[in-house]
Amino acid sequence: DGGITQSPKYLFRKEGQNVTLSCEQNLNHDAMYWYRQDPGQGLRLIYYSQIVNDFQKGDIAEGYSVSREKKESFPLTVTSAQKNPTAFYLCASSDSPYNEQFFGPGTRLTVL
Amino acid sequence: GQQVMQIPQYQHVQEGEDFTTYCNSSTTLSNIQWYKQRPGGHPVFLIQLVKSGEVKKQKRLTFQFGEAKKNSSLHITATQTTDVGTYFCAGPDQAGTALIFGKGTTLSVSS
């Protein structure tokens, strides 16, 4: 079954802790993206990667970090520097920045 | 910077009524894409429009791309409860590196 997987679906962390969200795709897509979704805010781009070992900051990269060591994987770390990390995080991939994006099921992060 | 705006933000209709959401870009787009996100779910691609003035239909859904390639609309005829969700439009940024999403229109339908 081809697609994008994100784990876990729900994640709870204490304030001040770093947390890493997983994103894996088996669609053989070059491009991968991380979005944050808050109520009424739409999708805000955190980081994106067009190719392995390269990634770029999106609109709200502060307090986040990523890596792209493999084509299939694009993990996102929410660091303690992120002031308001509680949100719904969506990972997506596409074969081209111009084409449709395939989204994973998302991870709902709650920081207590 | 480049922006994609959608109106309305929310729309409530009675089942059977029509619904339209509008999308406007601050710049000309090479294409416009539409996604649907069901409550509690993730965005799912619906369609991509590429040509100026293009109109595409998917059953009760009609998508249009403006002549100037800066605006688009999604029209649903005779809404059903299965149409509930948030509809997003998106277009490639000018650098061609990522999509810019509108904030979405959330549709609720009462039977």
DSSP string covering A77-104? EE-TT-S---EEEEEEEESSTTS--EE-
- pLDDT at position B1, please? 85
Q: Would you state the pLDDT for residue A44? A: 95
Give contacts of B41 with chain A, Cβ < 8 Å: 105
B-chain residues within 8 Å CB-CB of A90?
42-43
pLDDT score at A39: 83
Q: Is A88 on the interface with B (CB under 8 A)?
A: no
How high is the pLDDT of residue A111? 93
Q: Which two tokens stand for residue B66?
A: 């403006």
* B56 Cβ under 8 Å from any chain A Cβ: no
**Chain B neighbors of A58, CB-CB under 8 A:** 98
d(CA A94, CA A99) in angstroms, rounded, equals 7
Q: List for chain A the helix, strand, coil content (%; round to 5).
A: 0, 50, 50
Strand partners, A107: A89
- pLDDT(B20) > 70: yes
Q: What is the pLDDT of residue B38?
A: 97
Q: Over 90: is that where the pLDDT of B96 sits?
A: no
Residue A2: predicted pLDDT: 66
Which residues of chain A fall short of a pLDDT of 70?
1-2
What's the burial of B19, exposed, middle or buried (CB within 10 Å: 0-12/13-18/19+)? buried
User: Which residue type occupies A8?
Assistant: P
The enclosing H or E element of B15 equals none
